[in-house]
Amino acid sequence: MVAMTEDGMRRLAVGMGKDAREIAYSYRPGEHSDAPILVWLGGYRSDMSGTKAIEMETVAADTGAGALRLDYSGHGLSGGDFNDGTISRWLEEAIAVIDHVAPERVVLVGSSMGGWIALRMVQELSRRAKGPKVEGLVLIAPAPDFTHDLIEPALTDKERQSLSERGYFEEMSEYSPEPNIFTRRLMEDGVRNRVLTGIIETGCPVHILQGMKDADVPYRHALKLMEFLPADDVVLTMIRDGDHRLSRPQDLKKMRAVLADFVKQSEK
């Protein structure tokens, strides 16, 4: 069931019973029938009203492509408890929204954790052998397997104890006055969703934008991802003075150029 809110956002019911939650999304069809839909997949605790997400929609409007943005459960305008969130849960929601909109072709634009979800989505769509054709991936400071590769090795004894006894631990956030909360459920589910374990066959071009001064997802993580994408047309753009957000005007300019090129290439 889909409902329209006063702010123009749409809501899609996902899940059953106690797992039911309403996912907020924004969809603008493309002006050209041969243009793909640009799909925004945000990061951990971010939402679809962020600078890069809005910039993606602007590129879509300028090029005649469609644009789809969504908030995972516990994020932004969507319902659900953030602490119930896992990669599997948020992936399920993103796929449900795409299935509902039913585009023929998409370019997945994944930021930070959204890059992980984009890679998992490609795998799931391929496994199901149905759904839209993925024309390309644009991964911005991608954080695949971040729970296993980046967080778990750096846990303090106190944080490990908190995970064991309380089921979560807190970490101060640079981007919010509220701390980040990482649950045991998220960490365990992250292991089941790892992608940096073998060749990732996306079947489409991939462009990675990565800041070399990224304190959250070190640029070496992007280099590691490259090792698992040998069969694809992959471009890695390193931004020497870029941080994790990559939201400065010069960063957005690079993102706009990459997205516009993907739209142009997919129309050929």
Residue 87 token pair: 């990669």
Q: Which tens digit of pLDDT belongs to each residue from 132-162? A: 999 999 999 999 999 999 999 999 999 999 9
Indicate the pLDDT class of residue 27, thresholds 50, 70 and 90: very high
Residue found under tokens 């489409």: 204
Burial class from Cβ neighbours inside 10 Å (0-12, 13-18, 19+) for residue 150 reads middle
Which helix H or strand E contains 57, and what residues bound it? helix 51-63
pLDDT for the residue 33: 79
Residue 241 token pair: 């003075």
Would you say residue 5 has pLDDT above 80?
A: no
Contact between residue 57 and residue 80 where contact means Cβ atoms under 8 Å apart = no
What global pTM score does this model have? 0.94
- List Cα–Cα distances, 51 to 54, 68, 245, 265, in angstroms: 5, 15, 9, 25
Cα–Cα dist 177/18, whole Å? 30
Indicate the pLDDT class of residue 8, thresholds 50, 70 and 90: low
pLDDT for the residue 177: 78
Q: What is the mean pLDDT of residues 115-120?
A: 98
Cα–Cα dist 107/206, whole Å? 10
Write down all domains in the chain, each with its CATH number in brackets: 2-146+197-266 (3.40.50.1820)
